[in-house]
Amino acid sequence: MSLPATMVGCSPKSYLTADTAERWLDALVDGLKRTPEQGEGVFVCLPAALLARGVEMLAPLGVVVGTQDVSAHPVGAFTGEDNAELLAGLGARLAMIGHPERVRYFGETPEVFGAKARAAAGAGIAPVLIVGEPERGADPERIIRPQLDAAFGEIAADAPVVVAYEPTWAIGAAEPAPPAHVVGVVARLRELLADRRGPVRVVYGGSAGPGTYAAIAAAGRAAGAPSGIPDGVFLGRAGVDAAGFLATIAEVRST
């Protein structure tokens, strides 16, 4: 599977209901249809219950649709689970793995993340690996290396992956991580990812919204570090507001 060169996306987490999801999808379709690029370079990671509807509405515009989770288990007697074959068959091309909210609220471990990455990649779904240090001031590389290893130990070197740098301390925060910090970590991440043989994209997430990508890109240029500029941003709250998501998409496309 190929990945778009630029990737600007949203995980609406568990903010949506049946009604608000329909309005959100309608507003995205409407906004994207007004742009020449339509859904090119846009991705969404939806709750599994909204996957089929999201694919139906957004995939025709070229939006890459994925999920926020994937079962670590195969097809079989695992009540409540959404196996990777099922998700892939419904049109999922991405699956988020390793989000700190999965650790905090659901007790997921690096072993579980590895098993989920294996299941996703085995079904042709690109893992969106969420990595980042838990506290402000912690050494990002010391944390990120084992996070990457947990997944890369389980998937082929040529499997496509998206790496979302999301420092835990910047998720659900008042502001995103400082742009210069993001540039430094993303530049190092690209070095750590250099031996991947398949497509790799690096995005930034954590209180991102309109203005975040432009600020990071400006910091990367000012530092003379183009490799520190991510391939896009990954929104949570700010993207649940369709206007905020569309504004961010326009900004990334024009930066």
Ligand X SMILES: O=C(CO)COP(=O)(O)O
Active site residues: 99, 166
- The Cα–Cα gap between 148 and 138 comes to 17
The residue type of 49 is A
Q: Which of 51, 148, 236, 246 touches ligand X (CB under 6 A)?
A: 236
What tokens appear for 112 in the block? 């579980």
**Which region, judged by CB under 6 A, interacts with ligand X, from 51-59, 114-122, 155-163, 199-207?**
199-207
Q: What is the DSSP string of 122-183?
A: HTTPEEEEEE--SSTTS-HHHHHHHHHHHHHTTS-TTS-EEEEE--GGGTTSSSPPPHHHHH
246 binds ligand X (CB under 6 A): no
208 lies in the binding site for ligand X (CB under 6 A) = yes
* Comparison of 160 and 236: residue with beta carbon closer to ligand X: 236
Does 11 engage in binding with ligand X (CB under 6 A)? yes
Give the Cα separation of 232 and 254 in Å (integer): 12
Distance CA 242, CA 136 (A): 30
CA distance 217 to 60: 30
108 interacts with ligand X by CB under 6 A: no
Based on the shown chain and the rule CB under 6 A, indicate whether residue 244 belongs to the binding site for ligand X. Answer: no
Stretch touching ligand X by CB under 6 A, among 33-41, 53-61, 146-154, 164-172: 164-172
Which range binds ligand X by CB under 6 A, 17-25, 150-158, 206-214, 244-252?
206-214
Decide: 65 and 51 in contact? Cβ < 8 Å.
yes
Beta strands in the chain (DSSP E): 8-10, 42-46, 64-67, 94-97, 126-131, 161-165, 200-205, 232-235
CB of 209 to ligand X, least distance (A): 7
Q: Is 154 in the site for ligand X (CB under 6 A)?
A: no
Q: How far is the CB of 75 from ligand X (least distance, A)?
A: 27
Q: Within a 10 A sphere around the Cβ of 25, how many other Cβ atoms? A: 20
Does 172 bind ligand X (CB under 6 A)? Our answer is: yes
CB of 163 to ligand X, least distance (A): 12
Size of the site for ligand X (CB under 6 A): 14
- Please identify, using beta-carbon distances, which residue of 75 and 173 lies nearer to ligand X: 173
Within 8 A by CB and 6+ apart from 36, the residues are none
Q: Which of 177, 217, 235, 249 forms a contact with ligand X (CB under 6 A)?
A: 235
Interface with ligand X, residue 166, by CB under 6 A: yes
Binding site for ligand X (CB under 6 A): 11, 99, 166, 171-172, 205-208, 234-238
